[in-house]
Chains A and B, each alone.
Chain A
Amino acid sequence: MPHPPLIQTRQLRKAFGDYVAVDGIDLDVPRGRCFGLLGPNGAGKTTTLRMLLGLTPFDSGSLSVFDLPMPQQARAVRRRVGIVPQADNLDPDFSVAENLVIYASYFGIGRREAEARLEPLLAFANLSERRDARVDTLSGGMQRRLTIARALINEPELVVLDEPTTGLDPQARHVIWSRLSDLRDQGKTLLLTTHYMEEAERLCDELVVIDHGRILDQGSPRALIARHVEPEVIEVRGGADRVIDWPEIQALRSERMGTSLYCYTHDPAPLLDRLRDSQGIVFLHRPAGLEDVFLRLTGRELRD
Chain B
Amino acid sequence: MANLDWRLPRIRRGALAVWRRNVMVWRRLLGPAILMNFGEPLIYLLGFGLGLGVFVGQVADMPYLAFLASGIVASSAMTTASFEGMYSVFTRMVPQRTYEAILATPLEIDDILAGEMLWCASKGLLSGTAILLVAAGLGVVGGWSALLALPVVFLAGLTFGGMALIMTALAKNYDFFSYYFILLVTPMLMLCGVFFPGDSLPGWLQTTVQFLPLTHAVELVRPLVIGAPVEQAWLHLTVLAAYAALAYYLAVVLVRRRLVV
The finding on whether chains A and B are genuine partners in a shared complex, rather than unrelated, reads yes
Interface residues of A (CB under 8 A from B): 16, 53, 55-57, 74-76, 78-79, 83, 85, 87, 89-94, 98, 102-103, 105-108, 151, 154
Closest Cβ–Cβ distance, residue B14 to chain A (whole Å): 6
* Cβ-closest 6 pairs across A and B: A106-B105, A83-B104, A89-B97, A105-B17, A89-B101, A75-B106
Contacts of A154 in B (CB 8 A): 105
Q: Tell whether, in the assembled complex, residue B100 and residue A93 are in contact, meaning their CB atoms are under 8 Å apart.
A: no
Chain B residue, CB-CB nearest to A147: B101
Closest Cβ–Cβ distance, residue A104 to chain B (whole Å): 9
Chain A residue, CB-CB nearest to B259: A55
- 8 A Cβ contacts from B167-188 to A: none
Q: Tell whether, in the assembled complex, residue A98 and residue B101 are in contact, meaning their CB atoms are under 8 Å apart.
A: no
Contacts of A89 in B (CB 8 A): 96-98, 100-101
Across chains A and B, the number of contacting residue pairs, with CB separation under 8 Å, is 62
Report if A90-B108 is in contact (Cβ < 8 Å); known contacts: A105-B17, A108-B14: no
Contacts of B100 in A (CB 8 A): 85, 89
Chain A interface: which of B20-28, B52-60, B137-145, B198-206? B20-28
Contacts of A102 in B (CB 8 A): 17, 21, 24
Q: How far is the CA of A106 from the CA of B24 in the complex (A)?
A: 14
Q: Tell whether, in the assembled complex, residue A79 and residue B104 are in contact, meaning their CB atoms are under 8 Å apart.
A: no
- 8 A Cβ contacts from B94-136 to A: 96-98, 100-108
Tell yes or no: B147 within 8 A of A by CB.
no
Q: Tell whether, in the assembled complex, residue B104 and residue A108 are in contact, meaning their CB atoms are under 8 Å apart.
A: no
Q: Choose among B14, B21, B97, B101 the residue with the greatest number of A CB atoms under 10 Å from its CB.
A: B101
Among the listed B28, B102, B261, which residue makes an inter-chain contact with A106, where contact means beta carbons less than 8 Å apart? B102
Among the listed A56, A92, A151, which residue makes an inter-chain contact with B96, where contact means beta carbons less than 8 Å apart? A92
Contacts of A93 in B (CB 8 A): 24-25, 28
- Chain B interface, number of residues (Cβ within 8 angstroms): 23
Q: Tell whether, in the assembled complex, residue A55 and residue B103 are in contact, meaning their CB atoms are under 8 Å apart.
A: yes
Report if A108-B106 is in contact (Cβ < 8 Å); known contacts: A87-B97, A89-B97: yes
Contacts of B104 in A (CB 8 A): 53, 55, 78, 83, 85, 151
Report if A79-B106 is in contact (Cβ < 8 Å); known contacts: A92-B96, A105-B21: yes
Q: Tell whether, in the assembled complex, residue B24 and residue A98 are in contact, meaning their CB atoms are under 8 Å apart.
A: yes
Q: How far is the CA of A105 from the CA of B96 in the complex (A)?
A: 19
Task: Please give 13 more A-B residue pairs, beta carbons under 8 A apart, in addition to A105-B20, A106-B17.
Answer: A57-B260, A78-B105, A79-B105, A85-B100, A89-B98, A89-B101, A91-B21, A91-B96, A91-B98, A94-B24, A107-B105, A107-B106, A108-B14
Contacts of B28 in A (CB 8 A): 93
Closest Cβ–Cβ distance, residue B24 to chain A (whole Å): 7
Q: How far is the CA of A56 from the CA of B259 in the complex (A)?
A: 9
Q: How far is the CA of A108 from the CA of B105 in the complex (A)?
A: 10
Q: How far is the CA of A57 from the CA of B3 in the complex (A)?
A: 11
Q: How far is the CA of A72 from the CA of B227 in the complex (A)?
A: 52
- 8 A Cβ contacts from B76-108 to A: 96-98, 100-108
Contacts of A90 in B (CB 8 A): 101
Chain B residue, CB-CB nearest to A102: B21
**Interface mask (B7-27 → A, CB under 8 Å = 1, otherwise 0):** 000000110011011001100
* 26 A-B residue pairs with CB within 8 Å: A55-B103, A55-B260, A56-B260, A56-B261, A75-B108, A78-B105, A78-B106, A83-B104, A85-B100, A89-B96, A89-B101, A91-B98, A93-B24, A93-B25, A94-B24, A102-B21, A102-B24, A106-B18, A106-B102, A106-B105, A106-B106, A107-B105, A107-B106, A108-B13, A108-B17, A154-B105
Contacts of A83 in B (CB 8 A): 104
Closest Cβ–Cβ distance, residue A213 to chain B (whole Å): 16
Contacts of A78 in B (CB 8 A): 104-106
Contacts of A103 in B (CB 8 A): 101, 105
Contacts of B98 in A (CB 8 A): 89, 91
Contacts of A57 in B (CB 8 A): 260
Closest Cβ–Cβ distance, residue B89 to chain A (whole Å): 14
Chain B residue, CB-CB nearest to A105: B17
Chain B residue, CB-CB nearest to A99: B101
Q: How far is the CA of A102 from the CA of B101 in the complex (A)?
A: 11
Q: How far is the CA of A232 from the CA of B108 in the complex (A)?
A: 51
Q: How far is the CA of A2 from the CA of B21 in the complex (A)?
A: 43
Contacts of A87 in B (CB 8 A): 97
Q: How far is the CA of A106 from the CA of B103 in the complex (A)?
A: 9
Closest Cβ–Cβ distance, residue B3 to chain A (whole Å): 10
Closest Cβ–Cβ distance, residue B127 to chain A (whole Å): 21
Q: How far is the CA of A145 from the CA of B100 in the complex (A)?
A: 18
Closest Cβ–Cβ distance, residue A186 to chain B (whole Å): 21
